[in-house]
Amino acid sequence: MAYDTALVTGAGTGFGLALTTALARRGTRVTTVARDADRLAAAVSGLPGVTVAPGDITDPTFRAAVADRLGERLDLLVHNAGELGPSPLPPLADYPLDALRAVLETTVVAPLGLTRLLLPALRRSPAPAVVTLSSDVAVEAYPGWGGYGAAKAALDRLATQLGVEEPGIRVHAFDPGDMRTAMHQAAFPGEDISDRPEPETVVPALLRLLDERPPSGRYRASDLAGSPA
């Protein structure tokens, strides 16, 4: 399935950057969002058809500017941006409530706010798709993961609801599994996470999901075996 236009948040590093690279190589015109302007520009430099929109998606004014910039049609929206919260990961008994609010704002509220602004453009696409990045902590409980897990569970619920309310849009909550990313390293400070797969190795699973366009729902990379490059 070809997507002419896409928006990827959290695209300066990790999975967001790996996905942006893969989409660009397929000919998709990708608009990328991340907070660090210099890092984002350096990360996507040289990628064909990729433009940068540096800013904070928790800022309603920035979200509106991004929506205006994209124009009247959008084929693919990927909510990859998220916030881990305090590191080392604290139990809920010690979780700072201000930190939890920040995690929820970045991971749940901002994606919904951006999606609402972009729904008219998505509805104009012949085959629109929205992807939210999920995690196993959305469905499994692990010590210390309560704040991030609650946010991802809420994001999963929003994806499910959007899929019901917007039947013309494929809405996929995609669980990539563990990856060797800066966020994952922050969750395990001082530990060796070199056994985790690189994000580039997980991207083909999402590309297969986008190509095949199954019904809206939650999908795991590990279940999408034999994914095309």
With CA atoms as reference, report the closest residue to 111 among 60, 147, 50: 60
Are 124 and 4 in contact by the 8 Å Cβ rule? The answer is no
For residue 103, count CB atoms less than 10 angstroms from its CB and return exposed for 0-12, middle for 13-18, buried for 19 or more: buried
- Give, in degrees to the nearest 5, the angle at Cα 20 between 110 and 159: 40
Which listed residue (3, 95, 148, 219) is catalytic?
148
158 contacts: CB under 8 Å, gap ≥ 6: 108, 111, 112, 132
3-state secondary structure of 155: helix
With CA atoms as reference, report the closest residue to 148 among 184, 198, 200, 191: 184
148 carries an active-site annotation = yes
With CA atoms as reference, report the closest residue to 89 among 199, 194, 202, 190: 190
User: What residues are annotated to the active site?
Assistant: 148
